Structure 1
Amino acid sequence: MSSTAAGSPEPPSPRTVTPAVETVLAFVNTRADGTGRRELFEDGDSFADWLAEFGGFGGFGGFDGETVATDADAAAARELRDALVTVLLAHSGDEESLGEPLRHAERHLRRAGSLYPLATVVTAGGVELASPQTGVERVFGTVLAAVTTFAGSGDWGRVKACRNPPCHFGFLDRTRNGGGLYCSPGCGSQVSMRNYRRRLRQES
């Protein structure tokens, strides 16, 4: 989660999937969607399995197959993830996520920021945000550090959740104008077809 040091190359394009974006997407894309993707934070055991699988990924190092995660840890992971998904849906202009759902998500994220504070690590190569905590709390802090790092680039609004329900898959919008709404052409087509059928029913 490092910033660019003086004299170093230009920062990546907003259409580049950086390690910070990979960390955020790895965390939010763990929910069941009704089309085959299963819930990866269902309970403590499944959350621990996910931690073991991503042990060396995105700053989640230090976890292995022996990691103990409780059902309460899994519930906290779901709450943090779902709050982030709501924000990413707002980035996509999803009307159902706006208003009170978004305010509730932002309140939860403010609480998470106080529960999982970050430390600034300064080196000759740059400045990095990292979680000083251990265990599961460090995972949540790492996710928040990734969000903060990417948001600092000014392109946080490009990390979105697909507007096609029930997909809501997180993705980086790499379109030139930042106007992408769906994670894939297939999801866009599904929404277009549903809207077309709705208009036909209304006209009949």
Structure 2
Amino acid sequence: MSSTPAGSPRPSPRTVTPTVETVLAFVNTRADGSGREELFADGDAFAAWLAAHEEFGVGREVVATDADAAVARELRDALVTVLLAHSGDEESLGEPLSRAERHLRRVGALYPLAPVVTAGGVELTSPQAGVERVFGAVLAAVTTFAQSGDWGRVKACRNPPCHFGFLDRTRNGAGLYCSTGCGSQVSMRRHRQRQRRDGGAPSEA
């Protein structure tokens, strides 16, 4: 994870930092209705994904089991629930969010982080190796960015079933969708629902 050099300027909330890239790379591995495939389907798929993402620091020869892939899916899905809450998605609030936060606390206890202090700043890293290092790297990225005060800008698209993770770069932090296309789909869906509701009863001659 990137360090925080002493006296360095605070990045703009609209800057996609390496920590944000790490979080988004991990959460944007879900299958959805638009053609994206599940990248953590099993151990082999998870290992192939890790081999293509050197930023997690486990090397190209990492071995991942089906159980590892299941842990990755559970961590990812808990993070997606939190990111949906950042977008104000009502279905993710309440018990789903509480359940996700409890899971993230358990994961944090299983994969603790270690601070590396230098004259230039402090960096959170995972002291573990192999697949466990990946989960620690994700938690380190979340922690580092959350401490900037802009954690709420990392969101998941409110257009179901997209839920693609993105950094909200709007000036007021009010973005709800990962793209204008998803925003248009939601608007069109609501328009059709209003038409069905308003014109559902046939008029009598």
Q: With structure 2 as the length reference, what TM-score do the two structures score?
A: 0.95
Check whether the contact 2:43–2:68 (CA below 8 A) recurs between aligned residues. yes
Who wins on radius of gyration, i.e. which is larger?
A: 2
Check whether the contact 1:89–1:168 (CA below 8 A) recurs between aligned residues. yes
1:62 corresponds in structure 2 to: 58
- TM superposition shift of 1:3: 4.4
Check whether the contact 1:88–1:170 (CA below 8 A) recurs between aligned residues. yes
1:184 corresponds in structure 2 to: 179
- TM superposition shift of 1:18: 0.2
Across the aligned residues of Structure 1 and Structure 2, the Cα RMSD in angstroms comes to 0.9
In the alignment, does 2:111 pair up with 1:111? no
In the alignment, does 2:172 pair up with 1:172? no
Alignment of 1:77-116 (within 5 A): 77-116=72-111
- TM superposition shift of 1:17: 0.1
Unmatched 5+ stretches in structure 1: none
The amino acid of 2:57's aligned partner reads G
1:38 corresponds in structure 2 to: 37
Unmatched 5+ stretches in structure 2: 200-205
In the alignment, does 2:195 pair up with 1:196? no
Deviations 1:160-199 (A, max 9, x none): 0000000000000000000000000000000000000001
Deviations 1:58-115 (A, max 9, x none): xx12320x32100000000000000000000000000000111101000000000000
Report SS of the residue matched to 1:50. helix
Q: Aligned partners of 1:44, 1:186: CA distance in 2, in Å? A: 33
1:25 corresponds in structure 2 to: 24
Report SS of the residue matched to 2:5. coil
In the alignment, does 2:145 pair up with 1:145? no
Runs of 4+ aligned residues of structure 1 deviating over 6 Å after TM superposition are none
Check whether the contact 2:153–2:168 (CA below 8 A) recurs between aligned residues. yes
2:119 corresponds in structure 1 to: 124
Q: Aligned partners of 2:7, 2:149: CA distance in 1, in Å? A: 20
Number of matched pairs: 199
In the alignment, does 2:130 pair up with 1:135? yes
2:202 corresponds in structure 1 to: none
